[in-house]
Amino acid sequence: MADSELQLVEQRIRSFPDFPTPGVVFRDISPVLKDPASFRAAIGLLARHLKATHGGRIDYIAG
C-alpha cells in the first residue's frame, strides 16, 4: 500500500527546475494539499516514517 500511496503523492507534486535560481528545483506541494486522497496518503506516509524512525512515539499529526 505504501508504494501506491507514494506514487499518488509523487504524481501530484510539480517540479520547476532552476527556480528561483539556477540549480534549484522548486517542488510545489499545493496539489497534494488540495486533493483529499493524496493528502491522506502523504499524512499516512509521514506517520509511518516517523513511527519507524522515532520508536512509535507519535501522539498526533495535525494537518
In a domain, 59, yes or no: no
Q: To which residue does cell 535560481 refer?
A: 21
More confident residue, 58 or 8: 8
In a domain, 58, yes or no: no
- Taking the C-alpha atoms of residue 51 and residue 46, their distance in angstroms, rounded to an integer, is 9
- How high is the pLDDT of residue 47? 87
- How high is the pLDDT of residue 63? 64
Q: Is the confidence at residue 1, as pLDDT, over 70?
A: no
Tens-place pLDDT, residues 26-61: 999 999 999 999 999 999 999 899 888 888 777 777
In a domain, 14, yes or no: yes
Q: By residue range, what is the domain housing residue 27?
A: 2-53
Nearest to 6 by CA among 34, 36, 30, 40: 40
In a domain, 6, yes or no: yes
B/e letters for 6-40, b = 16+ CB within 10 Å, e = fewer, are eebbeebeeeeeeeeeeeeeeeeeeebeebeebbe
- How many domains does the structure of the chain reveal? 1
More confident residue, 8 or 57: 8
In a domain, 60, yes or no: no
